[in-house]
Structure 1
């Protein structure tokens, strides 16, 4: 599976990535975010690990979210989690000279501020990701981003003490802990969607990530018909008769089988809508006839 289009990389002015935690089967995470002491300790280890592989990163500020998310919450148009980290970085006070390690997590009362709070309905997955970015002088950040792209997918395993720190601090059994760029994460998600038979839908998600101002259309029977434009996906709703004329061969006339296939088609529409919404894409269902005008 190829990495996403280079336009995704070119849109960034920082080196952006995630610490990906693959949970052991049956494991859950006890804490949604770390308090400051643990957040700072884990962030320092992340900076050390990435800096060992990518020396340029050691010259940049590390901004780290000590809270875990579903990959779909990272892979959203406008990259809201990393954009929020950038905003927090801009507001962080400067003390002394040299690169800073800035970690955000739960407050002293254990409350998690809204920008770092994962969505409830997306908390059950076995892969959780902690966003980070390296920011600083543009040329250095660009060099760090380029090197991260070439190294992290193959060599980005977290060191043992980093994985152990994450495991103890979050209260979870972690099978693997590794670093990925956002492009790596997108490529892994594309492969997962391929295995789930969602290749066509991933192309719409990717279009929303890479070229959100352009239109993307999915019109490949027997899949649902949808159009992405202006930040919204419109999924075509068909009456049973319109669906039959558009999707089914004229030779199919078994009423029970047609009814069952139409129910499966509607379930596929709901699946598409749920995936798009997980990626932060608004979905509208629009009635249309078999001509498919949306």
Structure 2
């Protein structure tokens, strides 16, 4: 039997946000957003917002409205599939056992400081802001929502300033000092972020974010000026990680003069970290694989689905760090000396630790490079090297040359020599 869809009775939804711009001079840059409002306060705030939306958008009585009395960072709203606003719509539709649609105003508050529904519970991360968002969602028959959506996109950002009563209520209820407070749609948020990224020469990042948020079917490939490679397909953004040696020998740095390899790898790492962290912060899954010569050669001539297939054949990197083993002696002698070179970029900090270990006779046992794969990786590496030295009873020395130390002829990282070292300590930083 065929199912006939009737747009006049189907329910749909359309979301927006109340955007609060905080006064940066009077706000703690490392502070956390306030806790969710209690039920009574959230209900009072909902009344203010409903009046403003009626004034701005016109006749909204035939539509239901649900809002949550909590504030969120932009990264909690703009995520693949926009799960928070979908959760609001689902909560509205599940609030009435009757199959007949009845418009109502629903305000979600919590007397416990959090929501039991994980999808709408704010993360309240330190450093959120200076833009905080309160989401709301209209629910109604599909035709009515389609008409409302057009109006919201046309006028909400330009004419969405709240009343003075609402402004004062928001400031008092959340105990915040606010510069501006107004309504916007999710499309408005996306457009504003695109302008911000474009002004900072990060438009390729916007393409990857947009692909993930709107769950586009086509494959999106981005190659940055330093040679960073990203390809978005379905729920994943695939990318390559290069160690310094691989980057300089067969990767994006292979054609650079040897004297510029240090600064070049710093630029590549800076872009790689920025894009990876931003994508993950906005909920886009990044699948990182370790580059190798055959894969790099394949990707140079492959596009779209063929490139994705080649990347999916390689297991993704997992864990907090990567150890690149350059040399390992088959000797069973224990390590008596562990020499650690802090390979550092002045802007980014430590990019890797080069570790050489010697036996009692001063013979080389191991040469390794330890790379952090995420912000936590650096501490994990440090703790492991300390534990390794303690277990072996080895003397540990850390060298800080203040730059990347590498062989220009071998195009590879090397351990620091005495002439390279600005600081010698027994501590890892």
TM value normalised by structure 2: 0.61
- Deviations along 1:69-106, whole A, 9 cap, x unmatched? 11122111111000110111112137999631101122
Which residue number in structure 1 is paired with residue 281 of structure 2? 278
Cα distance, 1:40 vs structure 2: 0.9
Secondary structure at 1:124 match in 2: coil
Which residue number in structure 2 is paired with residue 24 of structure 1? 23
Larger of the two Rg values belongs to structure: 2
Higher RCO structure (Cα 8 Å, ≥6 apart): 1
Task: Structure 2 unaligned segments of length 5 or more: list them.
Answer: 1-10, 300-306, 312-429
Cα distance, 1:282 vs structure 2: 1.1
Cα distance, 1:238 vs structure 2: 1.9
Contact 1:65 1:132 in 2 (8 A): yes
Which residue number in structure 1 is paired with residue 85 of structure 2? 82
Question: Compared with structure 1, are the counterparts of its residues 247 and 54 closer, same or farther at alpha carbon in structure 2 (3 Å cutoff)?
Answer: same
The answer as to 2:210 corresponding to 1:210 is no
Which residue number in structure 2 is paired with residue 161 of structure 1? 165
Greater share of strand residues, 1 or 2? 2
Cα distance, 1:286 vs structure 2: 0.9
Matches within 5 A, 1:40-119: 40-93=43-96, 99-106=103-110, 108-113=111-116, 114-119=118-123
Which residue number in structure 2 is paired with residue 226 of structure 1? 230
Task: Structure 1 unaligned segments of length 5 or more: list them.
Answer: 1-11
Which stretch shows the higher mean deviation, 115-124 or 44-53? 115-124
Which residue number in structure 2 is paired with residue 9 of structure 1? none
Contact 1:56 1:144 in 2 (8 A): no
Contact 1:134 1:141 in 2 (8 A): yes
Tell me how many residue pairs correspond in the alignment: 280
Secondary structure at 2:60 match in 1: helix
Secondary structure at 1:57 match in 2: coil
Greater share of helix residues, 1 or 2? 1
- Deviations along 1:146-176, whole A, 9 cap, x unmatched? 1010001211111111111111111110111
TM value normalised by structure 1: 0.86
Distance in 1 (CA, whole Å) between partners of 2:120 and 2:107 is 11
Secondary structure at 1:136 match in 2: strand
Secondary structure at 1:58 match in 2: coil
Distance in 2 (CA, whole Å) between partners of 1:215 and 1:175 is 40
| Root-mean-square deviation over aligned CA pairs | 2.4
